[in-house]
């Protein structure tokens, strides 16, 4: 069983070597870094790691408009065309600990189409977040659940594991969103396509190095996104 971890990066030079070295300890796990011409030289560091781990690490240097959503779409399209069994999404900033990956892959191997690394399955498992950010995230998830009908505890997390064949069933061409709205869109699309979605508990640790790219525009987009989805498709009924 082989897994391809897609890791979008923008200015993650301190974090990416640590993350990739940890991932290389897991057998069957390969990495594709999706770098958006990071001004801090993350792309060159990813290239050096690709040389260090030939055949297991590759770096994609994106051009054109930058963004989390468009980077993942590039990565998804490439991953779908491979023979990997599982495709993982994870942040580069060490918030998503690779030690949870084997359980997430195992859940997908047992039959889940999408496994969500969930911070809110057993209470609230978030380290180093100020209270206001926990409240914001909880409210966002409650709001999205209520509007869309998605029955998941953590919809805005970026740590996920897909069965590649299931990811290939999504109409990715319809996605135009970015940031958290992108994560919501693909989750909604997965449920709407009838995919089996499971949550697997993780403890999320806030970044120590590098800066946040969270902008108010991205937050605003995610407030509107649930309404766009239900106006277009209706609420999710079977979750
Ligand atoms: N390729 C690419 N990656 C991005 C872009 N913006 C953010 N990322 C990456 O996406 C992941 C999540 O971004 P973060 O900045 O950590 O977002 P966040 O977790 O909501 O905010 P933090 O509190 O800073 O952790 C990280 O690996 C970033 O490097 C982008 O425009 N392009
Ligand atoms: Mg982060």
pLDDT for position 81: 98
Integer CA distances (angstroms), 189 to 29, 87, 150, 210, in order: 26, 16, 11, 32
Tally the C-alpha atoms within 13 A of residue 175's C-alpha that lie toward its C-beta: 27
Which ligand 1 atom is the nearest neighbour of the CA of 62?
Answer: 1
What does the pLDDT look like over 184-194, one tens digit per residue? 999 999 999 99
What are the residues whose beta carbon lies below 5 Å from ligand 2 (ion)?
A: 91, 93, 95, 207
> Does residue 238 fall inside a structural domain?
no
Average pLDDT over residues 38-59: 98
Q: How confident is the model at residue 221 (pLDDT cuts 50, 70, 90)?
A: confident
> Does residue 124 fall inside a structural domain?
yes
> Does residue 239 fall inside a structural domain?
no
Q: Give residue 180's Cα distance to chain centre.
A: 10
Residue entry with tokens 């180093």: 128
How many structural domains are present in the chain?
Answer: 1
Which ligand 1 atom is the nearest neighbour of the CA of 95?
Answer: 25
Strand order in the sheet with 160-163: 57-61, 29-35, 3-9, 86-89, 160-163, 114-118, 197-201
Average pLDDT over residues 162-168: 98
> Does residue 185 fall inside a structural domain?
yes
Domain with 163, as residue range(s), is 3-233
Q: Give dist(CA 168, CA 162) in Å, integer.
A: 10
What does the pLDDT look like over 193-208, one tens digit per residue? 999 999 999 999 998 8
> Does residue 39 fall inside a structural domain?
yes
Which ligand 1 atom is the nearest neighbour of the CA of 93?
Answer: 27
pLDDT for position 215: 67
Q: Give dist(CA 239, CA 237) in Å, integer.
A: 6
Q: What is the CATH number of the domain that holds 65?
A: 3.90.550.10
- Among 16, 91, 218, the mutation site with the greatest number of ligand 1 atoms within 8 A of its Cβ is 91
The pTM assigned to this predicted structure is 0.95
User: Percent of the chain beyond pLDDT 70?
Assistant: 98
């Amino acid at each position: 069983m082989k897994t391809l971890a897609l890791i979008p990066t923008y200015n993650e030079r301190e974090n990416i070597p640590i993350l990739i070295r940890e991932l290389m300890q897991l057998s069957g796990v390969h990495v594709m870094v999706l770098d958006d011409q990071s001004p801090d030289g993350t792309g060159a560091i990813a290239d050096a790691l690709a040389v260090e781990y030939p055949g297991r690490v590759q770096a994609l240097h994106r051009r054109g408009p930058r963004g989390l959503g468009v980077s993942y779409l590039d990565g998804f399209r490439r991953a779908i065309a491979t023979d990997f069994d599982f495709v993982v999404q994870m942040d580069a900033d060490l918030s998503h600990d690779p030690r949870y990956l084997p359980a997430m892959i195992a859940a997908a191997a047992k039959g889940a189409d999408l496994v969500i690394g969930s911070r809110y399955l057993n209470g609230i498992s978030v380290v180093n977040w100020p209270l206001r950010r926990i409240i914001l995230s909880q409210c966002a998830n409650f709001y999205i659940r209520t509007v869309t009908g998605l029955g998941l505890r953590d919809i805005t997390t970026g740590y996920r594991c897909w069965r590649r064949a299931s990811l290939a069933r999504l109409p990715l061409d319809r996605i135009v969103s970015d940031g958290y709205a992108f994560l919501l869109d693909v989750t909604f699309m997965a449920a709407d396509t009838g995919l089996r979605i499971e949550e697997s508990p993780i403890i999320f640790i806030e970044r120590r190095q590098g800066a946040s790219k969270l902008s108010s525009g991205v937050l605003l987009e995610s407030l509107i996104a649930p309404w766009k989805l239900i106006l277009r498709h209706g609420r999710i009924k079977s979750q």
